[in-house]
Amino acid sequence: MEFFSDLVEYLEINYSTVLQAITDHLYIGLVPVVIAFVLSLPLGFLVVRYSWLRVPLLTLSSVLYTIPSLALILVIPGILQTNILDPNNVVIALTIYGLALLVRTTADGLSSVDPLIVQAATAMGYKPVRRWFAVDLPLALPVVLSGLRVATVASVSMASIAALVGIGGLGQLFTRGFQLGFYPPPIVIGLVLSVALAVLADLVIVLVQRAVTPWTRLRQGA
């Protein structure tokens, strides 16, 4: 019981720090996913449209994904001339990881669309751009959104790394705990909250997915 009273006491004293850590964590974790998602749509389109781009682009994204996160975060200020403590270093790093995952799944999603349906749409008189948004993209959504779930959970979890380079987020609560001689309350709070945020973000996407792809949950019954 002593552990729980320590937890409560820690929260009472530090609730504003914890709240700030949550907001920072969400910013660091989610903004990259949004940027990566938006960028992955045209890139996925290019990969599917111009098949010669497929191997180089997807290989590049796989290679980027293998770079250790800490190394990437430390290299970015050198390349982009940003301040070493700028949270955008982490945002950029996580965007690269998100993009590496999402370009592949978006391309896979767009490739999974039945060419016969696309052809039918063209024959109905759709012009290419309108057809892409009205037919190709919606039909790719089940695969695209599955990829987005993976990327979101990965990004929100990885956001903790920001604390190691002195930037906010729930990772700060871990470093705080270590600095206090392995004092459990901040570590446990940070852990529980970062898992909770990842699960929550995943849940939101699942709900969106259910709302925008109703046709995927049907069974035949005429």
Partner 1 sequence: MIEFVDVVKTFPDGTTAVDHLDLTIPDGAITVLVGPSGCGKTTSLRMINRMIDPTSGQIRIDGKPVGDSDPAELRRGIGYVIQAAGLFPHRTVVDNVATVPVLAGTPKKKARAHARELLDRVGLRPELADRYPAQLSGGQQQRVGVARALAADPPVMLMDEPFSAVDPVVRDDLQQEFLRLQGELGKTIVMVTHDIDEAIKLGDHVAVFAEGGKLAQFAPPDQLLADPTGDFVAGFVGRDRGYRGLSFTTAEHLPVEPADTVVEGLRLAVDGDGRALGWDGDGSTRLPTEGTFTASDTMRRVTDLAILSPAGAAVRVDASGRVDGLVRHATVAEHLRERQIERLRGHGRSTAGAEG
Report d(CA 75, CA 73) in Å as an integer. Answer: 6
For the bound state, the minimum distance from the C-beta of residue 112 to partner 1, rounded and expressed in Å, comes to 12
Closer to partner 1 by CB, 81 or 220: give it: 220
Report d(CA 79, CA 136) in Å as an integer. Answer: 37
Q: Token pair 């290679």 is at which residue?
A: 63
Closer to partner 1 by CB, 78 or 221: give it: 221
For the bound state, the minimum distance from the C-beta of residue 125 to partner 1, rounded and expressed in Å, comes to 3
What residues from 117 to 146 belong to the interface with partner 1 (CB under 8 A)? 117, 119-127, 130, 135, 138-139
Identify whether the C-beta of residue 112 lies closer than 8 Å to the C-beta of residue 144: no
Identify whether the C-beta of residue 155 lies closer than 8 Å to the C-beta of residue 98: yes
Q: Could you tell me how many residues of this chain bind partner 1 (CB under 8 A)?
A: 23
Closer to partner 1 by CB, 64 or 118: give it: 118
Single-letter amino acid code for the residue at 146: S
For the bound state, the minimum distance from the C-beta of residue 212 to partner 1, rounded and expressed in Å, comes to 9
3-state helix, strand, coil in the chain (%, to 5): 85, 0, 15
Q: Is there binding between residue 116 and partner 1 (CB under 8 A)?
A: yes
Q: Is there binding between residue 214 and partner 1 (CB under 8 A)?
A: yes
For the bound state, the minimum distance from the C-beta of residue 171 to partner 1, rounded and expressed in Å, comes to 40
Q: Is there binding between residue 51 and partner 1 (CB under 8 A)?
A: no
Instruction: Read off the tokens for 58.
Output: 């997807």
Identify whether the C-beta of residue 89 lies closer than 8 Å to the C-beta of residue 31: no
Give how far the C-alpha of residue 115 lies from the chain's centroid of Cα atoms, to the nearest Å. Answer: 29
For the bound state, the minimum distance from the C-beta of residue 148 to partner 1, rounded and expressed in Å, comes to 18
Q: Which residues bind partner 1 (CB under 8 A)?
A: 116-117, 119-127, 130, 135, 138-139, 213-215, 218-222
